[in-house]
Amino acid sequence: GNKSQDSGIAEMEELPVPHNIKISNITCDSFKISWEMDSKSKDRITHYFIDLNKKENKNSNKFKHKDVPTKLVAKAVPLPMTVRGHWFLSPRTEYTVAVQTASKQVDGDYVVSEWSEIIEFCTADYSKVHLTQLLEKAEVIAGRMLKLSVFYRNQHKEYFDYTREHHGNAMQPSVKDNSGSHGSPISGKLEGIFFSCNTEFNTGKPPQDSPYGRYRFEIAAEKLFNPNTNLYFGDFYCMYTAYHYVILVIAPVGSPGDEFCKQRLPQLNIKDNKFLTCDEEDGVMVYHHAQDVILEVIYTDPVDLSLGTVAEITGHQLMSLSTANAKKDPSCKTCNISVGR
C-alpha cells in the first residue's frame, strides 16, 4: 500500500522554488523584487518568505542586530513586489537576498519550498528628495548671517610645494572622502577642492587655528563664488559633537562638477539661501555665511595659487576638528532624516 494512505496524510507536491531573481527600482531604502517559478503547485502558494541580510564585511560587528528578524513574511502578491519600511535599509550598502515560497496550512503552520539562490545588490545614495529633507533640517539651525570676504584652505607646506612643482601652481580637485552622511551622493564621487569660509565672531576674519596644517591659502570670495557659479547643498552632519557641518558645492556654470551636481543635489539661489550668499550692493559683491554651522565648501575646478596668498598661520593645529572620513552620528535628531540610516 501507499505510505501516505497508511499514515492518513495526503502527500503534498513540493512548492516551486523561486529562480532567476531580479532586483529593480533600487532606492536608498527600498527595492522591487521579482522571480520566476514553475507553474506546478503555483496556486497553493499563499506567502513568500524573503531573507535579507547585510553583506558582512570583515570588520563589521558580527553581533549587531542579531535580535532583528531578517525574514520578511509577505502575502503572495503579484510580482514584482516592493520591499520598503520592513527593514531599516541603509543607503549605499550591500545586501544579500534569498526567497522561498510558502503555503499556510489550516493549523497556521507553513509548508515551504527550498530556498532560492542567494543574490546580491547594493542600495542607492540619497536622492534629491532625501537631500532636500536634510537641507530643510539644516536651514532650521543655520543661524544669522555674518559677513565674509575670503575663502581659505589650510594644508601642510609640502602640499603647496608639490602643487607648485608638479601641477603648474594649480591646486587640483580630488575625490571627496567618505565623511558625512552615509547616503551622500558626493562621497567617493565628486571631485573638488575643500575650502572654509567661517569667520571669527569678534574679528570677522578667518580663525587662526586649523586642523589641516600650518599653511593657509586665502582667496578673495568673488574669485570662487560669483554669478558665473552655481551653488548646491551637499550634506548636513555632526560627529557626536555640539556643532554641525554643512557641505556646499560651488561649481562654475557648465563645468563637469556643475553637471554632476545638477543631477544629484538641490541647487540653492546664490543671493538668497540660509548658508552662503553672494549679492551686489552699490556695485560691490557682498558675501555672508551662516553663523551657527561650520561650512565646508567644495570648489569643483582647479584653483591657481597666484589668485590668492599662502602664509603660515599663528594658531594651533586642532586635530580634533578634522573631518577626514568622519562618521556621522546616526542618533542625532537634528541632522538625520527618517530614511535608511
Residue 200 has pLDDT above 90, yes or no: no
Identify the sign of the CA torsion 4, 5, 8, 13. positive
Q: In terms of Cα–Cα distance, which of 50, 53, 110 is closest to 81?
A: 50
Looking at residue 242, its amino acid is A
Please, what CATH class does the domain formed by 19-123 belong to? mainly beta
Residue 257 has pLDDT above 80, yes or no: yes
Q: Average pLDDT, stretch 28-52?
A: 89
Can you read off the three cell numbers belonging to residue 273? Answer: 539661501
What percent of the chain shows pLDDT beyond 70?
87
Alpha-carbon distance 237 to 138, whole Å? Answer: 9
More confident residue, 321 or 263: 263
Range name among 73-77, 115-119, 327-331 with the lowest pLDDT average: 327-331
Q: Where in the chain is the domain with CATH 2.60.40.10?
A: 19-123
45-63 tens-digit pLDDT: 999 999 988 887 555 444 4
Q: Name, in order, each residue with C-beta under 8 angstroms of 199's C-beta and a sequence gap of 6 or more.
A: 146, 147, 148, 205, 206, 207, 289
135-173 tens-digit pLDDT: 999 999 999 999 999 999 999 999 999 999 999 999 999
**Which residues, in sequence order, are bridge partners of residue 237?**
245
Alpha-carbon distance 250 to 30, whole Å? Answer: 31
More confident residue, 313 or 37: 37
Can you read off the three cell numbers belonging to residue 109? Answer: 503552520
Alpha-carbon distance 94 to 121, whole Å? Answer: 6
DSSP for 34-101, please give it: EEE--STTGGG--EEEEEEEEPP-TTS-TTTTTTS--EEEEE-PSSSEEEESSS-PPTT-EEEEEEEE
Predicted local distance difference test score (pLDDT) of residue 5: 45
More confident residue, 156 or 85: 156
- The answer to whether residues 18 and 35 touch, using CB atoms and an 8 Å cutoff, is yes
Q: How far from the centroid of its chain's Cα atoms is residue 203's Cα? A: 35
Predicted local distance difference test score (pLDDT) of residue 320: 55
Alpha-carbon distance 247 to 238, whole Å? Answer: 11
What are the distances in angstroms from CA 83 to CA 7, 20, 27, 72? 41, 18, 11, 9
What letter would DSSP give residue 43? G
DSSP for 108-171, please give it: S-EEE------EEEEPPPP-HHHHHHHHHHHHHH---EEEE-EEEEEE-HHHHHHHHHHSTTEE
Cis preceding-peptide flag for 80 (omega within 30 of 0): yes
Q: What share of residues in the chain are helix, strand, coil (percent, to 5)?
A: 15, 35, 50
Can you read off the three cell numbers belonging to residue 183? Answer: 547616503
Predicted local distance difference test score (pLDDT) of residue 290: 94
How many CB atoms neighbour CB 175 within 10 A?
12
What letter would DSSP give residue 261? H
- The answer to whether residues 87 and 111 touch, using CB atoms and an 8 Å cutoff, is no
Predicted local distance difference test score (pLDDT) of residue 61: 46
Q: Average pLDDT, stretch 12-28?
A: 88
**pTM of the full structure:** 0.82
Alpha-carbon distance 11 to 284, whole Å? Answer: 87
